[in-house]
Structure 1
């Protein structure tokens, strides 16, 4: 039976614009009949990726990019410094052609000088490769003669092994070659506020430092939209899927632990310099479940009212919803509660209270138990 780690986070942010739409307005959603603040799953996945890059080795993370040729050429020149740049580029393109990945030459910049190097070809869309895969592809490109045609079998073998933690967690979709696609082991929900939220506007001005003393008025003025909210965030890790992607028990433990810590502690950087909105969560509830993951956003279909405190009210609703889902699914095998203040004390009854570091460490044993191969008969 499949095993999942569900991560539920309550986090209050002051005036901020974490994730804006095409007009610059904070993203929002209608839920439970009222307007909520919203942060897209992509925004928080990106934040989590940047967060765990600080704690993982370079070999564990990867590159999501269109500039695959450029990456391969750089690696080829590290492995074989005397390789000619144009030859390396041709070899890299040959490997990608064997993979079925199309690359095109980008348009030259308008202000480009005739002496500027020609830009590297790029793929039509972003593709995720682990560091190890870039290494294998570069080695394959260097193997043999310059005119040698790389076989599809060899190219796929290089690109479809050693996925690394990032590709193992977030998967990979390659439209040009389905063989290279990897199912994601992590799902991240759009975060929404637990209560109704209005979007506000800040009218701001800036003074020109060199204004003459007898001249008044602003050097510039403008407006920026923002909101503030207590947000419910949710993500889940399919441990069996992660193990299938990585093929290694210890790598699966490190990947799952890194994601849990990063997801709980990360923050999207939208307009952060403007609002300095970096807060820590009010509470996180981490559950190890078998059978199916459970998103508890239904706790907030009836919006929390501010009269009892948004954090306290949100925690109480989350605790109630956790008890309620036991009518449909089995109790979690392990529940860990991390909280930073007494306003979220209603969650204490759900499981063991711990710090984030302690909770992440305690996950190692159930992760190993979930992915360990059965002993041979």
Structure 2
């Protein structure tokens, strides 16, 4: 395999609210002087790493993002016969090893003392690291000493989780255990200008309707939504991924294949029960080689309008890619599929990027 794997996708999402901002409206961005719908990279990565596709292929090598690693340590101690106070104290030690333990808020009534076993920030841990925590907790519960050196050995690069290897992690308390992300994911943006709309809805009270006393709605509400064809871009540094996974090429290939398929098939979960905004990618271009990676988002700097937006978007981005390669004198090996013309296949693209 070669150094860089790039994926370009066009996915048409109908009415929905896949990724909300602080007021509950779909996220947006101004690009080319027009407001576009946007799906954040964080939202996309979360959807992929928790998908059934990734779970099936590399589930035993997926990490856990949590503030409660210390809480789990305390629970393991209690299950193994330790008293609550000593368990909480040890859980706090674990939390401080992984980051900074939370402090109890004396003004809050009924706040659990286990709050001290949580970290201030999310910590991404591999299965091996979670096992290390559990083993230390059992040792502590049995009366054996757990030293600072033992706690420092919780974090390890051995048997690294594929999602940590792909998307990286930063630990301010243990910078030597930081992992540089091998996969970069752009925010998906609409290829056209979009307007965020509001849906006013009512809900009927079934029993009230039966009583004939009041014909009014049982609930009134409003939710924001929008629709767009999204351009998505992903870049994977395969050499760095292989390094992060300690040279395990079979696992690296599985990870690339699983996450690429998830990117094609799995949308974020936001408001799915309200809108069922399910869609597969309609067009995918995969590229690989040593050439410096580049997004093709500039193909949509001028918003697309009209009745054939999807076919126009495909033509626009393919032309832009060809022109880019011509101007820079590049020949980048590629493979694609196009649902509109029934050309290519997902399987051929996945085989191409992992062969």
- Whether the 8 Å contact between 1:129 and 1:159 is mirrored in structure 2 is no
- Give the secondary-structure state (helix, strand or coil) at the position aligned to 1:284: strand
| Residues 154, 226 of structure 1: alpha-carbon distance in 2 compared, 3 angstrom cutoff | closer
How far apart, CA to CA, are the structure 1 residues paired with 2:7 and 2:136?
Answer: 40
- 1:118 is displaced (CA, Å) by 4.5
Instruction: Trace 1:189-228 onto structure 2 (pairs within 5 A).
Output: 189-211=186-208, 212-228=211-227
How far apart, CA to CA, are the structure 2 residues paired with 1:85 and 1:61?
Answer: 32
- Give the secondary-structure state (helix, strand or coil) at the position aligned to 2:169: coil
With the length of structure 2 as denominator, give the TM-score of the two structures. Answer: 0.88
Instruction: Trace 1:80-229 onto structure 2 (pairs within 5 A).
Output: 82-84=80-82, 86=84, 87-97=86-96, 99=97, 101-105=99-103, 112=110, 118=114, 121-143=117-139, 146=143, 148-152=145-149, 155-156=152-153, 158-211=155-208, 212-229=211-228
- 1:202 is displaced (CA, Å) by 1.2
Q: How many residues align structurally?
A: 348
What residue is the counterpart of 2:347 in the other structure?
357
| Residues 101, 315 of structure 1: alpha-carbon distance in 2 compared, 3 angstrom cutoff | same
How far apart, CA to CA, are the structure 2 residues paired with 1:108 and 1:3?
Answer: 53
How far apart, CA to CA, are the structure 2 residues paired with 1:134 and 1:341?
Answer: 46
- Whether the 8 Å contact between 2:61 and 2:127 is mirrored in structure 1 is yes
| Residues 147, 136 of structure 1: alpha-carbon distance in 2 compared, 3 angstrom cutoff | closer
What residue is the counterpart of 2:60 in the other structure?
59
Instruction: Trace 1:312-331 onto structure 2 (pairs within 5 A).
Output: 312-326=311-325, 327-328=327-328, 330-331=330-331
- Whether the 8 Å contact between 2:335 and 2:348 is mirrored in structure 1 is no
- Whether the 8 Å contact between 2:242 and 2:249 is mirrored in structure 1 is yes
- Whether the 8 Å contact between 1:17 and 1:225 is mirrored in structure 2 is yes
Instruction: Trace 1:36-75 onto structure 2 (pairs within 5 A).
Output: 36-51=36-51, 52-73=53-74
How far apart, CA to CA, are the structure 1 residues paired with 2:200 and 2:261?
Answer: 37
Deviations 1:126-145 (Å, cap 9, x if unpaired)? Answer: 11001111112333454578
Tell me which stretches of 4 or more aligned residues in structure 1 moved more than 6 Å. 108-111
| Structure 1 range deviating more: 265-274 or 173-182 | 173-182
How far apart, CA to CA, are the structure 1 residues paired with 2:109 and 2:347?
Answer: 50
| Structure 1 range deviating more: 177-186 or 52-61 | 52-61
- 1:96 is displaced (CA, Å) by 4.8
What residue is the counterpart of 1:266 in the other structure?
266
